[in-house]
Chain A
Amino acid sequence: AQRVTQPEKLLSVFKGAPVELKCNYSYSGSPELFWYVQYSRQRLQLLLRHISRESIKGFTADLNKGETSFHLKKPFAQEEDSAMYYCALGIEKLTFGTGTRLTIIP
């Protein structure tokens, strides 16, 4: 069975400080992993997909198969990063974590 764990429900970080949102997964096959973000009063939108190894809005995420993790990182937090972040696993069927609400303190 697929499972995604985001251990932090809430995370507060000062502006300019590094950010790390944790995501661990459970899956027997080769995982397809994503980070989605939901800004206040906006729709859920795709932030990153591990397959493309891209950097969006300064965020990166590296798949660590040994630790079954896909943590989201940004070296310097900005106020506009305040949002709800969801880690998701799958292609045709997405299994979401419970989400982490990130608040950037000015």
Chain B
Amino acid sequence: KAGVTQTPRYLIKTRGQQVTLSCSPISGHRSVSWYQQTPGQGLQFLFEYFSETQRNKGNFPGRFSGRQFSNSRSEMNVSTLELGDSALYLCASSDQVNYGYTFGSGTRLTVV
């Protein structure tokens, strides 16, 4: 089984721009979650989607948004980028049966 695939692996953006990150979950997994990982704040939950519906949302500003498509693939978007948005963004998928999430390698976003 292919793992969770995130694209792109690296991104450099300028303050004020927007960015879209993509995540392809493991085949058959319908739950997709996104996390932000930084040295200062650690791993923080952004949002979780199941069958195209956002079920849970973390404490992030409205500039952070996401969506899930009918094939379970997910995207997250960050608008009006700030320097503090520089982080590793992780996507994870779950089959909601065996519990526990499988993580992708992440997209490292650098805002300059």
Question: Does B31 belong to the interface (CB within 8 Å)?
Answer: yes
Q: How many residues of B contact A (CB 8 A)?
A: 23
Q: Determine the chain B residues whose CB is within 8 A of the CB of A91 once the complex forms.
A: 99
In the bound assembly, the distance between CA atoms of A93 and B55 in angstroms comes to: 9
Q: Is the CB of A93 within 8 A of B56?
A: yes
Task: Indicate whether B64 reaches chain A with its CB closer than 8 angstroms.
Answer: no
* A67 part of interface (Cβ distance < 8 Å): no
Q: In the complex, A99→B37 CA distance in Å?
A: 12
Are B100 and A46 closer than 8 Å at their CB atoms?
Answer: yes
* A35 to B, closest residue via Cβ: B100
Choose among B101, B104, B106 the residue that contacts A94 (Cβ–Cβ < 8 A).
B101
Q: Considering the chains assembled together, what is the distance between the CA atoms of A87 and B38 in angstroms?
A: 17
Q: Which of A46, A49, A94 has the most CB of B within 10 A?
A: A94
Query: A49 to B100, Cβ gap below 8 A?
Result: yes
A26 CB within 8 Å of chain B:
no
Q: Which of B35, B102, B106 contacts A46 (CB under 8 A)?
A: B102
Partner of A44 from the list B56, B99, B103 (CB cut-off 8 Å) is: B103
Does A96 lie at the interface of the complex (its beta carbon under 8 Å from any beta carbon of B)? yes
CA A96 – CA B41 in complex, angstroms? 10
Question: In the complex, what residues of A have CB within 8 A of residue B106's CB?
Answer: 43
Is B28 at the interface (CB under 8 A from chain A)? no
Instruction: Report the bound CA distance from A92 to B53 in whole Å.
Output: 13
Given the known A-B contacts A43-B106, A92-B31, are A49 and B99 also in contact in the complex, defined by CB atoms under 8 Å? yes
A93 contact from B33, B102, B103, Cβ within 8 A: B33
Do A94 and B45 form a contact, CB below 8 Å, given A46-B100, A46-B101, A49-B99? yes
Supplied contacts A43-B106, A45-B103, A92-B31, 6 more A-B pairs, CB within 8 Å: A34-B100, A44-B90, A51-B99, A96-B35, A97-B42, A99-B43
Nearest 9 CB-CB pairs, A to B? A96-B43, A44-B103, A93-B56, A46-B100, A43-B105, A49-B100, A98-B42, A92-B48, A93-B45
